[in-house]
Chain A
Amino acid sequence: MLGTTFSLAVRSIFRHKLRSFLTTLGIIIGVAAVVAMVTLGKATTKAAQQQVASLGTNVLQVRPGQGFGRGGGGPRPPDFKEEDVEAVARQVAGVNAVAPQAQSTATVIYQGANWSTTINGTTNAFFQVQPWPLVSGRTFTRAEEQAGKAVCIIGNTIRTNLFRGGEAVGERLRVNGVSCDVIGTLSTRGQGGFGDQDDVIVMPIKQVQRRFTGSRDIRLMLVGVDPAYDSAQVQESIKQVLRERRQISGGKDDDFNIFDTAQISATLTGITTLLTQIVTAVAAISLVVGGIGIMNIMLVSVTERTREIGIRLAIGAVASEVLMQFLMEAVVLSCLGGLVGLVVAQLVVFGLAPLMQVEFMFEPQINVIAFLVSAVIGVVFGYFPARRAASLNPIDALRHE
């Protein structure tokens, strides 16, 4: 009987193609929205995690100030000095290397083409604390580092835009009017939550301080932590050293902050997960609305087909058979809508992934869940109209105009 009911339902659905399509539209959109949002959310989280991982998993970022979003009044806390960097490198156990950073922006000119980019002044420690290999050339020599020579290692975006992807090592750039030898090119790191990471020129920090920032201040320290040590403990030690050097007494708050990349990763994941949940919740509402749409049309359908129901009852259909027929129709409709929605979702993810700079991915779990939810919606919202159909009085139903 179930098979017959099923084929009856399918027949009835295809007898009214347009109406069936419009009925399921809500479910199609709902399922597509939920699946696409969850999949894109996961892809974004994954991309963000990869990005953070590329910063190095055991890197602490130390900055003056109290961290993001806790600015407040008062004078700006002082930047770090070269001595602070040395102190952290020497005094804290578990620190592999400390890379100071001084940043500026500059216009780079090569053979009449120019490009605005970020100038990152640092030392060779920069390449020790994080995995960012060169594709050609070399890092700074000790002499270049100490003298702050005008040499530079360029990111992939610079190479692409000024050298058209060709060999850049040995060429000479003008950076804000300063002539500068290209000694190395960096491998690509990609786009991400932090912007184009390849749009950068790395120079010895002394050069940058002298010619670009005009001070000996260090805005950021990248601290490479020995994986054998506990990151929290290392952070605490760094804190003690810096508090002492910056003369922060007992009860006062730190005027600097230490950021663990693992912490950033967790925070980012938290944010993307939360956003995904919010968007999914909104999408889920559209699924429920889709279910109400099915109920609406099924109720109309029951009224419209009152005579048919009367005929079926007169012929000898028992109430449960009529109920099953209409319930089956609702379930088949919503399941069909669910399937179409899944297909649409994959198309949406496929289309949006490149725009959002994330990988296309297929999440089996959410697809299965969304499909099951669409089936459940069919049962829930189909039941009321079906029960109404089944409870019709055959005599009245037959007389219905």
Chain B
Amino acid sequence: MAAREASVAPNEPPIIQLRGVSKVYGEGATAFQALKSVDLDIAAGDFVAVMGPSGSGKSTTMNILGCLDVPSSGQFLFKGLHVERLDRDQRALLRRKYLGFVFQGFNLLARTSALENVELPLLYRGDGKKERRATAMAALDKVGLKEWWDHTPAELSGGQQQRVAIARAIVTNPDVLLADEPTGNLDSERSVEIMKLLTELNQTSGITVLMVTHEPDMAAFARTIVHFKDGLVERIEAQHLQGEVVA
């Protein structure tokens, strides 16, 4: 892992550091320990696949990494910032600025054009209308859907919807893209397309990609695979990125 970090972002501290992070749901007899002291470093610019069986703690970890949830104990440093000390709104602002989300179910706003969906994060950032439009169009162009800007999700295929969702996630130029089973609802051909798109974004814009997946085929696109089991990191696999020329 240390060797890989060095190759991805030399001389830079990891963008994400988990230190003894645990998460307990519920209280007393019904309490459930989803995470038991997880330590994990993720380097800036890495492409990480998170794998593990249901209940292994991978979703909980992603929620914490996505600043949607806070650890019960331990430290989560994002760019050196103690996220566990932030309140709800501070975490929202952090998500707005540094994070992008892609979900299994696409989660686009219904009856809303692709462009408006992509504009949404810019709206909260407070961009002007023209600026918003231009930025959103550029993001749609990046995912190859410029021509489809005025289509609503109902008029787009699953693969296209997921690409709109990716455009929405990257439109603010975030540091980290969190993808929760992004290919779970797609056939294998579309899945590969989405993975290629994520790989391309990772390589060209240097965005750190964190992806939860069940499928080893999809995980194969990642540079690092983190395996979870029983609320702990079981092992970390470093691999060559597909198509990457090894020096």
Q: Which residues of A are interface residues toward B (Cβ below 8 A)?
A: 1, 4, 8, 15, 307-308, 310-321, 394-395, 398
What CA separation (Å) do A317 and B93 show in the bound complex? Answer: 7
Give min CB distance, A19 to chain B, whole Å: 12
Known: A8-B123, A394-B68, A398-B103. A315 touches B109 (CB 8 A): no
Q: Is B63 among interface residues, defined by CB-CB distance under 8 A? A: yes
CB distance B120 to A315 under 8 Å?
yes
B positions within 8 Å CB-CB of A = 63, 66, 68-69, 88-89, 92-97, 99, 101, 103, 107, 109, 111-112, 120-121, 123-126, 168
Q: Are A4 and B123 in contact (CB under 8 A)?
A: yes
The one of B63, B89, B96 in contact with A315, judged by C-beta atoms closer than 8 angstroms, is B96
A314 engages B124 (CB within 8 Å): no
Are B111 and A317 touching (Cβ within 8 A)? no
Contacts A310-B107, A398-B107 hold; do A315 and B88 have CB atoms under 8 A apart? no
A contact residues around B63 at 8 Å (CB): 395
A386, chain B: closest CB distance, angstroms = 16
Nearest CB of chain A from residue B66's CB, rounded to whole Å: 7
- Which residues of chain A are within 8 angstroms of B101 by Cβ–Cβ distance? 314-315
Question: With A319-B92, A395-B69 as given contacts, are A312 and B120 in contact (CB-CB < 8 Å)?
Answer: yes
Nearest Cβ in chain A — how far from B136, in angstroms?
13
Q: In the complex, what distance in Å separates the CA atom of A317 from the CA atom of B137?
A: 21
Contact B96 A316 (CB under 8 A): yes
Q: CA–CA, A311 to B123, complex, Å?
A: 13
CB closest chain-B residue, reference A308: B109
- The chain B residue with its CB closest to the CB of A394 is B68
Q: Establish whether residues A316 and B93, one from each chain, have CB atoms under 8 Å apart when the complex forms.
A: yes
Residues from chain A with Cβ under 8 Å of B66 in the complex: 314
B107 touching A307, Cβ below 8 Å: yes
Q: Which of A308, A319, A321 contacts B124 (CB 8 A)?
A: A321
Q: Can you spell out 25 A-B residue pairs with CB atoms less than 8 angstroms apart?
A: A1-B126, A312-B120, A313-B68, A313-B92, A314-B95, A315-B96, A315-B124, A316-B92, A316-B94, A316-B96, A316-B121, A316-B124, A316-B125, A317-B96, A317-B124, A318-B89, A318-B93, A319-B88, A320-B89, A321-B124, A394-B68, A395-B63, A395-B68, A398-B103, A398-B107
CA distance A314 to B120 in the complex (A): 11
Most buried by B among A15, A310, A313, A317: A317
Q: Which residues of A contact B111 (CB under 8 A)?
A: 15
CB-CB under 8 A from A310, the residues of chain B are 107
Bound CA–CA A311/B109 (angstroms): 8
CB distance from A392 to the nearest CB of B (A): 11
* Given A315-B101, A316-B96, A398-B107, 13 additional A-B pairs, CB 8 A: A15-B111, A307-B107, A311-B107, A311-B120, A314-B101, A315-B121, A316-B92, A316-B93, A316-B97, A318-B89, A318-B93, A395-B63, A398-B103
**Complex Cα gap A395–B59 (Å):** 10
Q: Which residues of A contact B97 (CB under 8 A)?
A: 316
A315 touches B126 (CB 8 A): no
Q: Which of A308, A312, A318 has the most CB of B within 10 A?
A: A318
B124 neighbours in A (Cβ, 8 Å): 312, 315-317, 321
Residues of A within 8 A of B94 (CB): 316
Q: For residue B93, which residues in chain A have a CB less than 8 angstroms away from its CB?
A: 316, 318
Q: Could you tell me the distance in whole angstroms from the C-beta of A397 to the nearest C-beta in chain B?
A: 10
Q: Chain B contacts of A15 at CB under 8 A? A: 111-112
